[in-house]
Chain A
Amino acid sequence: MATQIIMDHNGDTRHTFDAKDAKALLEAERRFKALTGAGFTAATRTASGEPVVRRAFDPTAEETLFFPRLVGG
C-alpha cells in the first residue's frame, strides 16, 4: 500500500491506496496534481532516507509527503 501524507493544521492527513489499483492510482495522481498546483511541495525518500522533491507523480513511490509553500516569517 502506498501513502500520501499531507501536512495540515491537524498534523497531517493520510491517504492510503493500492498502487496496483488503476482507479486508486488515478485518484492519487489527481490529488498529487491538485496539491502541487496549489503550491504544496511533494517529497519522497530514497532508500537511504534522503529526501527528494518530486515535480511529477511517481506511481512507484511508497510514501509521498506534501507540505505547504514556504514563506518568510
Chain B
Amino acid sequence: MIRPQRRPCFFRGSSAAKTRLVLVTLLQVANGQFRRLLAACLRSARTFRDWYLRPSAIEQRGLDLLREWLSQEQLAQYDAHKYFDVIGCHTGRRYRIHHGNGANVVELNDAALPRTGWCFVPNDHLVAGDVMLAQKIALETDEWGALAAANNFAPR
C-alpha cells in the first residue's frame, strides 16, 4: 500500500530564526502592497475631489467675466490669494473682496487688518464671479450706496 505523500509543513522542522525570517518577509510584502493600495486610494480620492469641486460652466463664465474686469494688480492678487483689494471711491478706504458670494467683503484698517465685515449682494442668485464683480464696481463707483445697502458684521 502506498501512502499518499503528506504535504511538507512549511514551519515543521524549520528553525525559529527561519520561521521569523519568513514571517518578516511576508509582513514586509503585505505592508508594501497595503501602502501601494493606500496610495492608489488617495490618488483616486484626490481625483474625485478635484472633479467634485471643479467650477461648473456657469461658475467658470462668471470667473472669466470677473477676470476681464479686474485690474492687473487685482488679478494677480486674486490668482495668488483668492481675494483682491479695492479702494472705496468716496472714503479711500481699502476693502478686501474674498472669493465667495456672501459675507465676503472686509474693510481693512491702516495696518491692513480686518476692521469691519460688509455683506451686500445682488438681489438675484448669481455665481461667485458675478457677485464679486458687482461688489467691486459698487465700491469703486458708489461706495456710500453700497455700504448703505450692506449689513455689517465682525470679521474673524
Residues of chain A having any CB pair with chain B under 8 Å = 5, 7-12, 39, 41, 43, 45, 49-53, 65, 67-73
Interface size of B by CB at 8 A reads 35
Residues of chain B having any CB pair with chain A under 8 Å = 57-59, 61-62, 65, 69, 71, 102-103, 119-127, 129-130, 133-138, 140-142, 145-146, 149-151
For the residues of A in contact with B, the DSSP-based class is strand
Contact in complex: A71, B123 (CB < 8 Å): yes
Contact in complex: B123, A67 (CB < 8 Å): no
Complex alpha-carbon distance, A68 and B138, angstroms: 11
Of A43, A49, A68, A70, most B-chain CB atoms within 10 Å? A70
Contact in complex: A70, B122 (CB < 8 Å): yes
Complex alpha-carbon distance, A41 and B123, angstroms: 12
Contact in complex: B69, A8 (CB < 8 Å): no
Contact partner, B138, options A9, A41, A73, Cβ 8 Å: A41
17 extra A-B contacts, CB within 8 A, seeds A10-B58, A11-B65, A73-B121: A9-B126, A11-B58, A12-B62, A12-B65, A39-B123, A43-B137, A49-B69, A49-B71, A67-B122, A67-B126, A68-B122, A68-B123, A69-B122, A70-B135, A70-B145, A71-B149, A72-B119
